[in-house]
Amino acid sequence: MVVDPMSTSEMNASLLPTYAPSAPSPNYTSEPTHGEETLQQTPSITHPPLTSTYTRESEKIVVTLFDQEKNAKMPTYGRQGLISGTVYIDDSGLVLQVAVEIEGKLESSCFEGGYKSVKLMSDYSTLWKKAKDGNTCPSLIPFSCVLPATFDSGDRKPPLPPSYGSRSTGSPSLLVRSQYSINVYVERIRHPIVGFLTATKHITIPFNYYPRTRAHRPIVASPCFFSTVKTSPEEWYQAFSEMKTRPNLRMDAVYCHVSIWRLPEFR
């Protein structure tokens, strides 16, 4: 019996599992909690965990975002970042509906080519809605949303671009901008007697999207660096080479270690 090698390879390829980039690791701190102690630690440059909040208030509505840097002027999230927070509503008895939308768009404007806008993402969620039994809206409503790693561009799904803005004042003028925002909508009755008159309050919070493009662990001096490579081999590609010297120099050979961080998409 003769077996076609091409058909065999195609069949084997069809049995391979589909590939998808792994999700980022959860929040972690090396500081021991109550009842724990550090047995061994490799000295390295560590960044403190994000424990502060970002707050925006407008017309009896307070939106609080968690896991932010202290005194941050604008919220910032990384690759597939978790957007979590709360919506506090003063005088929530007249509220009919509360919703949140995570929006991203890419805009370009040219004097000769006109204006073009591409929707990168739009995740709309209803946090609370008044039912027929007349339930009352809670004063504090939590919410959370995970940013996608890619966006739909027709026949392909490229990575979600970072926040960016550039303006050229030459001839012709050119504007390119990718921006993201958190939109909170609160619909309420204007007056309890006139129930059919409603109004929707809208709060927009722009945020920075900066996907990480460098290693999660910093490069530190040897031998500490090689300890991080050995404890996390999936994050690094290591190559070893011996460079011999001339015999008349009477010098030992030079050993070279090259370590390259693997991008998450190619792990």
The torsion angles phi and psi of 14, rounded to 5 degrees, stand at: -70, -20
Q: Is the pLDDT of residue 33 over 60?
A: yes
**For residue 11, what are the CA distances in angstroms to 1, 7, 129?**
18, 6, 51
Note the pLDDT tens digit of each residue in 241-256: 888 888 787 788 888 8
More reliable by pLDDT, 13 or 261: 261
Kindly indicate the confidence band of residue 20, based on its pLDDT and cuts at 50, 70 and 90: low
More reliable by pLDDT, 46 or 76: 76
DSSP structure class, residue 249: G
Q: Average pLDDT in the 81-103 region?
A: 92
Q: Which domains does the chain have, with CATH numbers?
A: 44-209 (2.60.40.640), 224-266 (no CATH)
Kindly indicate the confidence band of residue 2, based on its pLDDT and cuts at 50, 70 and 90: very low
Residue 19, number of CB atoms within 10 A of its CB: 7
Q: Is 137 helix (H, G, I), strand (E, B) or coil?
A: coil
Q: Is the pTM of this model over 0.85?
A: no
* Residue 209 pLDDT: 94
**What residues pair up with 244 in beta bridges, in sequence order?**
none
* Residue 50 pLDDT: 77
Kindly indicate the confidence band of residue 9, based on its pLDDT and cuts at 50, 70 and 90: very low
Q: Tokens 């809670």 map to which residue?
A: 138
